Amino acid sequence: LSHEVKEGPAKILTVVNGSEVEEFDVEIVSSIPQKFPAIKGMVLKVTDKELLQKTGGIVQGMSGSPIIQNGKLIGAVTHVFVNDPTSGYGVHIEWMLNEAGINIYDKDNYEKAS
């Protein structure tokens, strides 16, 4: 849930070579718990030296890459900062689920998922 996302280390899973999914370090710079869907709920910065060397940061095609923090899927990459490719935005997982018709705040859905 968006209120559980903390500023600090996280990872993204993405593909930069062929079809191999790799894990790269990022930092959650800010996270805004939201009451309404928003595609820019988190700001993240790429800190992984290997990814920075390979791509310079977030590049086209990385949209949708999962963002993981403390072993939990917290969202996905949505946009890159136009003037800073090392940084970008992410959408919180609850709004992705909401878009798919899953209300995580519905007690029945929560119990089914547990």
Give residue-wise pLDDT tens across range 4-18: 899 999 999 999 988
Distance in angstroms (rounded) separating the CA atoms of residues 81 and 52: 15
- Beta-carbon contacts of 8 under 8 Å, excluding residues fewer than 6 positions away, are 27, 28, 69
CATH 3.30.420.40 corresponds to the domain 2-113: no
Q: Residue ranges per domain, the chain? A: 2-113
pLDDT, tens only, 23-59:
999 999 999 877 776 778 899 999 999 999 999 999 9
Tokens encoding 104: 């995580």
Q: What is the pTM of this model?
A: 0.84
